[in-house]
Chain A
Amino acid sequence: MQSAFATALLEPELPPPAGLVAPADPTQRFNVYRNNVVFGLVRALASGFPATEQIVGAAFFAAMARAYVLAEPPRSPVLLQYGETLPDFIAGFAPAASLPYLADVARLEALRSRVHHAADADAVSPSILARLDPTGLQQMRCRLHPACALLRSSHPVATIWAMNSGAMPLQEIADWTPEDALVLRAGQGLTQRVEIRRLPPGGGAFLGAAQEGLPLGEAAAIAFTETTDFDLAAALAALFTDGLITAIQTA
């Protein structure tokens, strides 16, 4: 019974399962469940991807989200991370092909949800730096905070996100360059909030390498290879002042 019921919920063309009883048309009644399931999930996606919705408009987003829901319904009763695969779906969604940056904006918003719910952890104090000589610092490997995430995009994703989330006025982007974005939690306890920051040149390469567990000296070399504009001192300071490091391993 539930197999036919569940299948018909997600396939609008199918008739309702046999055996339903109501004092009105059972198909009409079954459609209430169809609507609850699909509309409820579309609404959940809209709340997790507000900038993506802002870019394409509510009607387009609802149609795209509905197609996603029918293709990839949730596999868990915990919906907090539902939509993690929506960005890939968007990348292959033909009607959105004229917006090649849309999938990356959605990736940024998926990371925003993940960071919002990620585990709490204490950051390493910046005072640790005083105990390291330059060689020690070069060889130091870091474990980054579970509540931070990096997105390296070939589009100006942080700027597009900011303009479509009310953080920046909407205007033409004259300099269409790739951007690296850092998603992190700022503040503590009840005052914490998720922030999205555009990283300076080389910042994404450095942070990505550090996140993979490479020694900071190697991470810096990778960043310098990408751009001579990389500011190592500023990138190191940010790691500590933003509380992004939860453990270190020296030598």
Chain B
Amino acid sequence: MLPIATGTGFKPEHFAALRESPRSIGFIEVHAENYLGDGGLPHAMLADLRRDHALSLHGVGLSIGGEGALDAGHLRRLRALCDRYEPQSFSEHLAWSSHGGVYLNDLLPLPYTEATLKRVRDHVGQTQDVLGRRILLENPATYVSFGASTIPETEFLAEIAARCGCGLLLDVNNVYVACRNRGEDPADYLRRFPHQHVGEIHLAGHDATTDGHGAPLWIDHHGAPVADPVWALYDEALRLCGAVATLIEWDNDLPAWPVLAAEAAKAQAVLDGLRQAA
């Protein structure tokens, strides 16, 4: 279990700052695939930070929503990484990213049907078996839906969690982005989310823009401060889920450490407020 505190994604650019003030944040999170090299500085840094920080390994390449079989070699590498760093949490996405042997480097959407439900259930079960641990599954940021879908995303996730015994990673920014892009109310989605399974919350920045035809479009880009409506949803999410470990994701246009630390502190203040009220 991650500590009930706020963490940040770790980037090598912030190593010196983090090392100067250990325990300034509750935990760090890294993309598992960035640490599947054999050695060198990336592992030296992570091993060093791991001594003072709780760790969340966040996978972005397992393609749990893929039509094909899971990549057994990749699963084994992830297991070895878990054995090496003993993270407090391992999470992945309700999405696919590989097809026909090609890795597409994005978290792609899938229709929600009885058939895909069974497949995702099998893949989550297999992942948990190989990793030897319970994982968290994250709700995706999406730009399209499928006419073939018959199950609302919140029900789909609830069913996976109930049947596989996995937890859920509630990405509040993804909720906002996906709901706005679907023309739905993010607060309504949040109310219908299976709160009891949430083991971590993600917050990140997005871009509220327009498409080539001038229609509104929200893009999940992890390259800006968390937007005000997402902070409001975060308040609501904590009220519904209780206090949960919260991560600030900032992957692009990386700011100086104090800016990122300030975002984490802002989330920590909301968490602290909730605990005092409780």
What distance in Å separates the Cβ of B269 from its nearest Cβ neighbour in chain A?
32
What distance in Å separates the Cβ of A62 from its nearest Cβ neighbour in chain B?
16
What distance in Å separates the Cβ of B114 from its nearest Cβ neighbour in chain A?
15
With A19-B147, A22-B143 known as contacts, the answer to whether A75 contacts B211 (CB < 8 A) is no
Measured between beta carbons, the chain A residues less than 8 angstroms from B216 are 24
Which residue in A2, A19, A116 is a CB contact (below 8 Å) of B40? A116
Measured between beta carbons, the chain B residues less than 8 angstroms from A30 are 143-144
Which residue in B42, B44, B96, B217 is a CB contact (below 8 Å) of A189? B44
Q: How large is the interface on A (under 10, 10 to 19, 20 to 34, 35 or more residues)?
A: 35 or more
**Which residues 31-74 of B sit at the A interface, judged by CB distance below 8 A?**
33-34, 36-45, 48, 60-63, 66-67, 71, 74
What distance in Å separates the Cβ of B33 from its nearest Cβ neighbour in chain A?
5
Confirm or deny: B275 has a beta carbon within 8 angstroms of a beta carbon on chain A. Answer: no
Confirm or deny: A136 has a beta carbon within 8 angstroms of a beta carbon on chain B. Answer: no
Measured between beta carbons, the chain B residues less than 8 angstroms from A44 are 105
**Which residues 133-186 of B sit at the A interface, judged by CB distance below 8 A?**
143-148, 181-183
**Which residues 67-82 of A sit at the B interface, judged by CB distance below 8 A?**
73-80
Confirm or deny: B258 has a beta carbon within 8 angstroms of a beta carbon on chain A. Answer: no
Measured between beta carbons, the chain A residues less than 8 angstroms from B84 are none
Stretch at the interface among A98-106, A117-125, A196-204: A117-125
Confirm or deny: A129 has a beta carbon within 8 angstroms of a beta carbon on chain B. Answer: no
Measured between beta carbons, the chain B residues less than 8 angstroms from A185 are 40
Confirm or deny: A21 has a beta carbon within 8 angstroms of a beta carbon on chain B. Answer: yes
**Which residues 1-41 of A sit at the B interface, judged by CB distance below 8 A?**
1-3, 5-6, 9-10, 19-26, 28-33, 36-37, 40-41
Contact B211 A25 (CB under 8 A): yes
Measured between beta carbons, the chain B residues less than 8 angstroms from A36 are 105-106
Of all chain A residues, which has the CB nearest B16? A190
Cα A5 to Cα B97 in complex, Å, equals 11
With A24-B215, A30-B144, A192-B40 known as contacts, the answer to whether A77 contacts B97 (CB < 8 A) is yes
Confirm or deny: B101 has a beta carbon within 8 angstroms of a beta carbon on chain A. Answer: yes
Of all chain B residues, which has the CB nearest A6? B99
Contact B108 A33 (CB under 8 A): yes
Which residue in A10, A32, A73 is a CB contact (below 8 Å) of B143? A32
Which residue in B67, B103, B181 is a CB contact (below 8 Å) of A76? B103
Contact A75 B217 (CB under 8 A): no
What distance in Å separates the Cβ of A120 from its nearest Cβ neighbour in chain B?
4
Contact A37 B213 (CB under 8 A): no
Cα A9 to Cα B99 in complex, Å, equals 11
Confirm or deny: B219 has a beta carbon within 8 angstroms of a beta carbon on chain A. Answer: yes
What distance in Å separates the Cβ of B222 from its nearest Cβ neighbour in chain A?
11
Contact A6 B182 (CB under 8 A): no
Confirm or deny: A147 has a beta carbon within 8 angstroms of a beta carbon on chain B. Answer: yes
Confirm or deny: B91 has a beta carbon within 8 angstroms of a beta carbon on chain A. Answer: no
Confirm or deny: B111 has a beta carbon within 8 angstroms of a beta carbon on chain A. Answer: yes
Measured between beta carbons, the chain A residues less than 8 angstroms from B44 are 189-190, 192
Of all chain B residues, which has the CB nearest A36? B106
Confirm or deny: B6 has a beta carbon within 8 angstroms of a beta carbon on chain A. Answer: no
Measured between beta carbons, the chain B residues less than 8 angstroms from A22 are 143-145, 181-182
What distance in Å separates the Cβ of B186 from its nearest Cβ neighbour in chain A?
15
Interface code A138-173, partner B: CB below 8 Å = 1, 0 otherwise? Answer: 000000001100000000000000000000000000
Cα A5 to Cα B100 in complex, Å, equals 12
Contact A116 B97 (CB under 8 A): no
Contact A192 B66 (CB under 8 A): no
Residues in chain A within 8 A of chain B (CB atoms): 1-3, 5-6, 9-10, 19-26, 28-33, 36-37, 40-41, 44, 73-80, 115-121, 146-147, 185, 189-190, 192-193
5 contacts between A and B (CB under 8 A): A1-B111, A29-B217, A37-B104, A80-B37, A120-B43
Top 7 A-B pairs, shortest CB-CB distance: A77-B61, A117-B37, A120-B39, A28-B211, A119-B38, A24-B215, A6-B99
